[in-house]
Structure 1
């Protein structure tokens, strides 16, 4: 069986130039007034990304956070940008308690259904499972969601994308997850800018998604190039991904930005100049297509 990437318009063998972690739609009770819920603005971000040479965007917005699944296929067809949608569950503070009470007992089943049958009545199938760790460890909620993600990944082959709270607990996540590290994409390691932690995660075989620039976490963006350099010089360029992680309307490229276009207009040229075109091609093209591929049932 051939591995493919599950996009919102169907399974494909590759993604092309990819923003490996971003959000077109996102709504959380923890971020009142900062919703990403404008379809026209989402279309504008995708159009700008395509104009800059982008081919695909992976949205890490999981269930219950306004992921806009019903709008994603049309946006993909209109802009020519492939989109990968997520199932999964974020940290508890993003949800109303009644929603957690309803979904927690059947998380693995719910994740599996959204990966194989579709999200609600939309028919849009998710292509990854997004969950989260805790701060310097794994709390009860994190353990429950990680356990469900591992079960769904085992059943479907789907990759697991992990929000690392403040960039911490990457080793704990990999130790806990009962899947091969190659099925795991770790996000936000630049927010805990310890070079050895990022290199060790890549050395274990996990994909490391460095997802700056992010306006909400600009304090550590200046370490992005240091971490990138350390991972590549340690011999783990094949485990490296980049994403824009736009989580608020203010951070869109059409507002104050920088938005996902920054990855292609600023970061990729630096990568090509510093390490050559082969490394840039691997990080933006080859690696995402490996990281998000599965032999779907």
Structure 2
């Protein structure tokens, strides 16, 4: 394999064709951690994605991994209908999402890596609508690997998943996303992935702005990691202004080439099409204009277009 490509649910595209990227959101998701907040209606998820497209977003990362209600065939239909690129996810979340899936959580690192690799190279199996795997693969292919950890904690399963994700990324050059609970343990997980062979500049640290510490963020950027800013519209925990101030300091400190923007809304009670607020489009309709006023148009282009395209671009072989 050769060349610079981003692997979307409908096929490989050139990174420069993505446009504005929402680096982290969900069209479908069900988890026992969010009862009553299921995203499982194709029509409503289509309408929510349409609202996002109306804000100018050209690419969405569908960040729902194995075992949490993925619907890759529906995602493909939405992508085709709306003309939005969608990069779908393989991998697994933190273990607390899987209390009744021992067949998954007891897998070895080698087994997990085989499953992740198959979805990246061969495509999603028939079982991918609910979990992942299966012999018939006709629902498109994943474009990145996701893993997750708890708050300053790692279970044995999560360690195996990180090892598997690192090994697959080392082999294929595929991008990796890490769910960091409240932004914790970023350095530690980055080191674990590197020890598994994953280049640090393949990794996006999701939810890093749940710990809005610009000094920490600049340390991580210096290691090459991408910084996932996806915490807007969570005013019970922090005002948007705090996150914007943090982002502005990171750009001023030289870390702007590592910043990514997304929403990670992830629940039906917060999707307008499901009857909630603020909606998938909030990040780009309400939040991004304030970011633009703080850091300027050139920096916003890097945040929303240049950086995510570079992160999502596959690199074939560990030497790259």
TM-score, scaled relative to structure 1? 0.94
1:220 aligned counterpart, secondary structure: coil
Match of 1:74 among 74, 77, 84: 77
Q: Distance in 2 between matches of 1:18 and 1:185?
A: 14
Q: Distance in 1 between matches of 2:239 and 2:307?
A: 22
Q: Distance in 2 between matches of 1:253 and 1:227?
A: 28
The answer to whether the 8 A contact 1:190-1:221 is kept is no
- Which runs of 5 or more residues in structure 1 are unaligned? none
Aligned to 2:132: none
Alignment of 1:5-20 (within 5 A): 5-14=6-15, 15-20=18-23
| Residue 110, structure 1, aligned to residue 115, structure 2 | yes
| Residue 190, structure 1, aligned to residue 209, structure 2 | yes
Q: Distance in 2 between matches of 1:123 and 1:156?
A: 20
Residues 286 and 212 of structure 1: is their aligned pair in 2 closer, same or farther, counting only changes over 3 Å?
Answer: same
The answer to whether the 8 A contact 2:147-2:179 is kept is yes
Match of 1:236 among 238, 252, 255: 255
Match of 2:93 among 80, 90, 93: 90
Larger deviation, residues 254-263 vs 38-47:
254-263
Instruction: Give the root-mean-square deviation of aligned CA atoms.
Output: 1.7
Larger deviation, residues 95-104 vs 150-159:
95-104
| Residue 264, structure 1, aligned to residue 284, structure 2 | yes
TM-score, scaled relative to structure 2? 0.87
Aligned to 1:40: 43
| Residue 27, structure 1, aligned to residue 27, structure 2 | no
1:250 aligned counterpart, secondary structure: helix
**1:143-179 deviation digits (Å, cap 9, x = unpaired):** 1110000111112111110000121000101111122
**1:217-258 deviation digits (Å, cap 9, x = unpaired):** 840353311221121111111100111102110111333322
1:138 aligned counterpart, secondary structure: coil
Residues 127 and 214 of structure 1: is their aligned pair in 2 closer, same or farther, counting only changes over 3 Å?
Answer: farther
Alignment of 1:142-161 (within 5 A): 142-161=158-177
Figure out how many residues of one structure are paired with residues of the other and give that number.
296
The answer to whether the 8 A contact 1:84-1:128 is kept is yes
